[in-house]
Amino acid sequence: MFEILKSFESKYGHLKKKGLTIEGLAMIDPKKKKHVIKISRPLVFDNRLLPKRFEGLDVKTNIKLNNDMPKEFNVDRTQPDWHKKQYIWAPERFEKYVDRCEKEIKDQLNAPQMSKQEVLDALCFGNFEEHKQKSLQLIKEGKLPAYREN
């Protein structure tokens, strides 16, 4: 299994310059002995450069939350059960952020030629429309709170 991690690092290690952190292997289901490759990255990062699976393992991505988050993603995480009231990764947040900062995001990604849809895909887990549809389905099922303005 460590060979898979080394292979992942050799293939995607160059993305560390763009803020990627390869955290290592993690077991997410002890009963099934399911392992993943854990990585983290900044909010402004081209997720299309990363696979969802690598050599049979899922790639689990965390976004590095910090105090410099854009205002669209500011939620009060000090409140109990904040995640039941606000979904920090709501598609509407990505849309509002890109509407407000499209040029700056393109500059940060060093890709001024990107379309707005490409920027959304890059920021939003590789496929914005897929994320939007999945979020809407989870809202219908009551597993995610509906988006509301901060």
Q: Among 11-15, 78-82, 94-98, 120-124, where is mean pLDDT lowest?
A: 78-82
Cα–Cα distance between 10 and 29 in angstroms, integer? 26
Strand-strand pairing, 57-63 and 34-41? parallel
Instruction: Record the pTM.
Output: 0.88
Rounded Cα distance between 28 and 107, Å, is 36
Please say whether the beta carbons of 50 and 15 come within 8 A: yes
| Predicted confidence (pLDDT) per residue in 32-72, tens digit | 888 999 999 999 999 999 999 999 999 999 998 877 889 99
